[in-house]
């Protein structure tokens, strides 16, 4: 059977940065995110006994050996669960540039987890799907769900309790996340490499880790109250703290470019003028701005004029992963 699944990337409001077990991809801390409606990945998986290797097609082009072997290792988990040794053909399409640092691994592995399990006839509960998606990429565990999502780091050594759960569905709170695509997207240190280096060499990593439980508690309360100022302030703090600990690695990791810094300053300037707008940044130069729907247009106009910003994509809270096609 062949199955196609659609998943949306998510942006962490409280960041995940560091692993307690690299092999099982177990996060060192919890995290909280928002799933984005405007961006998506659609992935089709087909297992067949006539295939003699796994094949990965990304946006119409055969993927590199590295990307294919990461997917093959991920598919091994599903092969072993269903007791098959068949290879698969995986075709994945993003509606946003893969290289733009927009968490394509989150939507990619969430969609692949559902497409692969469905095509093998496995009917997995969302928490199990989330646990398995995590093995592909930590942030993918959160893209199983829509709206506002919390990832638990778990305590078990086999990772059976390290999965995400939904805090609030996408209809809970109508907010916007403006994604500023920077024109100068130079090659970055991957999230995996960046967090591993930070853990191994940054003197600030342990401080980072020790503050996360409080950040998570405060973010849960702020979300419940739909308090844009508090949610935004906590998200900005979590982002800057993550970047500060990465910058203090050896060699230091700097994900920002000129445009990133200009955009951060602009957000704060607009905030001083009374518009509730808050930034967050992942392992790349793109700045994402959290704001209210009524300020979306005004803010977009401001950011479109900013040097270094190529494009502004507007996202609202989006849905979790789903099957969009099945055929024998």
Report the residue from 21, 82, 86, 192 that binds ligand DP6 according to the rule CB under 6 A: 192
Stretch that binds ligand DP6, among 89-97, 137-145, 262-270, 303-311 (CB under 6 A): 137-145
Is the Cβ–Cβ distance between 46 and 39 less than 8 Å? no
Task: Give CA–CA dist 115/108, Å, rounded.
Answer: 10
Question: Is residue 282 a contact point for ligand DP6 (CB under 6 A)?
Answer: yes
Task: Give CA–CA dist 249/240, Å, rounded.
Answer: 14
b/e sequence 124-137, b meaning 16+ C-beta within 10 Å: bebbbbbbbbbbbb
Residue 227: which residues within 8 A CB-CB, separation 6 or more?
A: none
Instruction: State the nearest-atom distance from the C-beta of 68 to ligand DP6, in Å.
Output: 16
Report the residue from 3, 12, 34, 45 that binds ligand DP6 according to the rule CB under 6 A: 12
Report the residue from 35, 105, 202, 257 that binds ligand DP6 according to the rule CB under 6 A: 105
User: Binders of ligand DP6 among 21-50, rule CB under 6 A?
Assistant: 25, 31
Considering the complex, state which of residue 270 and residue 281 has its C-beta at the smaller distance from ligand DP6: 281
Question: Is residue 202 a contact point for ligand DP6 (CB under 6 A)?
Answer: no
**Cα 175 from chain centroid?**
18
User: Binders of ligand DP6 among 74-103, rule CB under 6 A?
Assistant: 103
Question: Is residue 286 a contact point for ligand DP6 (CB under 6 A)?
Answer: no
What are the residues facing 95 on neighbouring strands? none
Report the residue from 30, 138, 159, 320 that binds ligand DP6 according to the rule CB under 6 A: 138
Is the Cβ–Cβ distance between 81 and 47 less than 8 Å? no
Q: Give the total of residues touching ligand DP6 (CB under 6 A).
A: 14
Considering the complex, state which of residue 100 and residue 270 has its C-beta at the smaller distance from ligand DP6: 100
Question: Is residue 280 a contact point for ligand DP6 (CB under 6 A)?
Answer: no
Task: Give CA–CA dist 257/248, Å, rounded.
Answer: 17
Considering the complex, state which of residue 101 and residue 308 has its C-beta at the smaller distance from ligand DP6: 101
* Cis status, amide bond into 269, omega within 30 of 0: no
**C-beta atoms surrounding 193 within 10 Å:** 12
Considering the complex, state which of residue 20 and residue 46 has its C-beta at the smaller distance from ligand DP6: 20
Instruction: State the nearest-atom distance from the C-beta of 33 to ligand DP6, in Å.
Output: 6
Stretch that binds ligand DP6, among 37-45, 68-76, 132-140, 207-215 (CB under 6 A): 132-140
Question: Is residue 15 a contact point for ligand DP6 (CB under 6 A)?
Answer: yes
Residue 208: which residues within 8 A CB-CB, separation 6 or more?
A: 17, 18, 198, 202, 241, 242, 245
Q: What is the SS3 assignment for 11-34?
A: EEEECCCCEEECCCCEECCCEEEE
DSSP string, 89-110: EEEEEESS-GGGSS-HHHHHHH
Is the Cβ–Cβ distance between 240 and 204 less than 8 Å? no
Question: Is residue 191 a contact point for ligand DP6 (CB under 6 A)?
Answer: yes
Stretch that binds ligand DP6, among 48-56, 65-73, 136-144, 202-210 (CB under 6 A): 136-144
Footprint on this chain of ligand DP6 (rule: CB under 6 A): 12, 15-16, 25, 31, 103, 105, 137-139, 191-192, 282-283
């Amino acid at each position: 059977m062949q199955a196609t699944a659609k998943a949306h990337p998510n942006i962490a409001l409280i960041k995940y940065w560091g692993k307690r077990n690299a092999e099982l991809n177990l996060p060192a801390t919890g995290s909280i995110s928002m799933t984005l409606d405007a961006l998506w990945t659609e992935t089709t998986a087909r297992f067949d006994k006539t295939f003699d290797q796994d094949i990965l097609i990304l946006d119409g082009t055969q993927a590199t050996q590295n990307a294919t072997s990461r997917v093959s290792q991920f598919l091994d988990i599903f092969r072993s669960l269903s007791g098959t040794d068949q290879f698969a053909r995986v075709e994945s399409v993003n509606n946003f540039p893969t290289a733009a640092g927009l968490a394509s691994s989150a939507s990619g592995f969430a969609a692949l987890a559902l497409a692969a399990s469905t095509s093998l006839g496995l009917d997995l509960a969302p928490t199990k799907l989330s646990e398995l998606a995590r093995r592909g990429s930590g942030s993918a565990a959160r893209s199983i769900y829509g709206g506002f999502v919390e990832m638990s780091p778990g305590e078990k050594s086999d990772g059976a309790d390290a999965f995400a759960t939904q805090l609030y569905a996408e209809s809970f709170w109508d907010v916007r996340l403006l994604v500023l695509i920077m024109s100068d997207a130079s090659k970055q240190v991957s999230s995996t490499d960046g967090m591993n280096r930070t853990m191994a060499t940054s003197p600030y990593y342990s401080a980072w880790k020790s503050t996360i439980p409080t950040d998570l508690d405060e973010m849960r309360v702020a979300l419940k109250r739909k308090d844009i100022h508090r949610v935004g302030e906590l998200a900005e703090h979590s982002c800057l703290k993550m970047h500060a600990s990465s910058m203090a690695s050896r060699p230091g990791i700097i994900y920002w470019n000129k445009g990133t810094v200009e955009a951060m300053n602009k957000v704060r300037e607009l905030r001083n003028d009374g518009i509730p707008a808050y930034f967050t940044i992942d392992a790349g130069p793109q700045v994402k701005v959290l704001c209210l729907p009524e300020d979306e247009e005004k803010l977009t106009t401001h950011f479109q004029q900013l040097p270094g910003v190529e494009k502004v994509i507007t996202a609202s809270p989006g849905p979790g992963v789903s099957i969009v096609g099945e055929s024998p």
